[in-house]
Structure 1
Amino acid sequence: MDSHRLLVFRQIARTGSIAGAARALGWTQPAVSQHLRLLERQAGLPLVLRRPRGVRLTEAGQALLRHADAVAARLQAAADEMSALAQLEGGTVRLATFPSAGATLVPAAMSLLATRHPALDVRLLQAEPPEALELVVAGEADLAVTFAHAGQRPAEPSGLVSVPVGTDPVRLVLPRGHAGARAGDVDLRSLAAERWIAGCARCTAYLEEVCGTAGFAPDVRHGSDDYVVVQSLIAHGLGVGLLPRLALDAFRDPRVAVRDVPGLRPRTIQVTHHREAARTPAVRAAVRAVLDAAADRSAGRRDPGQGRAADSAHSAASSS
């Protein structure tokens, strides 16, 4: 199967039309159509269904697109490696990350990269873990910093590998005037009658799981994947919630209190990239910078928390 035609087909699939692929490639539509016909002849199956305003992939086309993505990623890894070798750690690395890491861990890693490899061009993209992994699969990002809550299996599409970065403790966030704010550790069962503020889909699933383990179903009244909004809702007495430490490091509303919940397991952080990209110097340097930034945070950062709860969280993080 001709790899060049495979990449042309990938452009058709990504743009959703032959005209869109022609514009992206700088070709004529007949030239793109001819490559598609020849590829379908090689495949022995129709790959697209032509519609008035574009195309829709057939089942065979969807299967072939996965291979086309892998070929494109392999070719991009080869091009990046050659560029890095020629420029002595030059080139570009594109990093996708979720918001709270993008406000804390990742800028520190980018600063390390700027110091160690000033010729390296680092581009930051913000995306939640599922979308970040899709960017890596599609070749639109070189690596992704993602998370998974305890009990949730981190998604890892075929062809990708993940490197553990560390853990991120999950904390209970209360209005400052709440009775639990005056305690040290808080038993989750004591909050069974509370209203709850939930986060993203994965965070909401985690909240429901830990509350279910404690013997109750949380009364979720509001939801937002913006940790600033969550803390503002809590500060106004509209509920209580769970937030990871990275989110609290990124922003801490002075009107809320943060406490530990015994037995609440941390979420895990990992950095993921294509298996072939492990040989690319820019990707290796970026992974190392993320790991070193995480180690620096664990060893030298004090959690700006509230009294004993903050101290115990920092001790737990340093020993993990």
Structure 2
Amino acid sequence: MDVQRLLIFREIARTRSIGGAARSLGWTQPAVSQHLRHLERQAGTPLVLRRPRGVQLTEAGQALLRHADAIAARMQAATEELEALVHLRAGTVRLAAFPSAGATVVPAAMSLLAQRHPHLDVRLREAEPPQALDLLAAGDVDVALTFGHAGERPAGTDEMVRMPIGEDPLRLVLPRSHPCAQPSDVPLHLRELAQDKWTGGCERCTDHLRQACESAGFTPDIRHGTDDYVLTQALIARGLAVGLLPQLALDAARDPGVAVRPAAGVRPRVLYLVHHREADQIPAVRSAVQAVADIAARAGHMAASPATAAGGAWDPGSA
């Protein structure tokens, strides 16, 4: 049955007259009568009995009215739910982020999003960029926060939008007792550490470390491999290695036993927000992307704030 005709019939039943339904709907009385006739032909039986002062529902009309009421209620519920989603009074956005961003950028962005849209449900999954993109392609998340090293071929497909939101500088991390530990604000060339033992990170980060060292004229002696930046710093603090860590990892957790120096000639990695091309039309996704981008902008290309340099919590508002 035609839903519009069911709703017209419901209005006839509510007003108890064809004329009343016409006035309520803003239609002409003949148009309402015609829709009623079509509906009765579909039903195969009269739905109303015409009376001098209006109409009376037949038993079939009363049965159909119950279904028409249910349909009207569901349509109203659908309208209200869609309005809530459009105006961000409800909705869910699923975000995947790599660990150091998940410990710094994302909580600040989630807090900002909660201030702007308190009823929006944001759900986080930790995943390195390749896994995050797989989750995005499979539809398991809506937005992926990823990174790319300088010279690396961008990941993703033509159906995805990759928006650069900032840079994450790479720092040389040394034991405080290391001869090159000072001065901390002067860039240090990788070749100065050619004789040291190294610790690598995730597979992509270790590959980038190896390439950067080879460009500096040596092959690094990589003794350890872990994507846990707390463990990496613990190894370095005890004099077991040196390493190349992103600033975000140091912002998330800084071991007091390490010294940090800028890495001369090493370009920062770029942070990207990735989502399906059509997803920016979804209010919840668009708002989440904006919140993460705003936090990245406040952080000043992810440079360490005075609080993080002193070992405090990462606060993008102070950057």
Q: TM-score, normalised by structure 2?
A: 0.68
Partner deviation per Cα, 1:89-128 (whole Å, 9 max, x = no partner):
1210000000000000011100010000011100011000
Q: 1: CA distance between counterparts of 2:155 and 2:285?
A: 20
Task: Name structure 1 gaps, 5 residues minimum.
Answer: 1-81, 307-317
> Alpha carbons of 1:228 and 1:134: their partners in 2 closer, same or farther (altered >3 Å)?
same
C-alpha contact 1:84 1:280 (8 A) present in aligned 2: no
C-alpha contact 2:189 2:265 (8 A) present in aligned 1: no
> Alpha carbons of 1:236 and 1:301: their partners in 2 closer, same or farther (altered >3 Å)?
closer
Is 2:223 aligned against 1:190? no
Matched with 2:34 is none
Is 2:272 aligned against 1:270? yes
> Alpha carbons of 1:301 and 1:245: their partners in 2 closer, same or farther (altered >3 Å)?
closer
SS at match of 2:292: helix
Letter in 2 for 1:119: H
Q: CA deviation at 1:130?
A: 0.5
Q: CA deviation at 1:301?
A: 5.8
SS at match of 2:118: coil
Matched with 1:104 is 104
C-alpha contact 2:251 2:304 (8 A) present in aligned 1: no
Which has the greater radius of gyration?
2
Partner deviation per Cα, 1:260-297 (whole Å, 9 max, x = no partner):
12211000000001111110000000000001011111
Which consecutive segments of 4 or more residues in structure 1 shift more than 4 A? Answer: none
> Alpha carbons of 1:283 and 1:247: their partners in 2 closer, same or farther (altered >3 Å)?
same
Matched with 1:133 is 133
C-alpha contact 1:83 1:91 (8 A) present in aligned 2: no
Matched with 2:52 is none
Q: CA deviation at 1:84?
A: 5.3
Equivalent residues, number: 227
Q: 2: CA distance between counterparts of 1:203 and 1:228?
A: 16
Q: 1: CA distance between counterparts of 2:83 and 2:113?
A: 17
Matched with 2:118 is 118
Q: CA deviation at 1:157?
A: 2.7
Q: TM-score, normalised by structure 1?
A: 0.68
Taking only aligned residues, the RMSD between alpha carbons, in angstroms, comes to 1.9
Q: Which has the higher helix share?
A: 1
Aligned ranges 1:67-216 → 2 under 5 Å: 85-87=83-85, 88-89=87-88, 90-183=90-183, 184-216=186-218
Percentage identity across paired residues of the two chains? 58
Matched with 2:221 is 219
Q: 2: CA distance between counterparts of 1:209 and 1:233?
A: 22
Q: CA deviation at 1:86?
A: 3.8
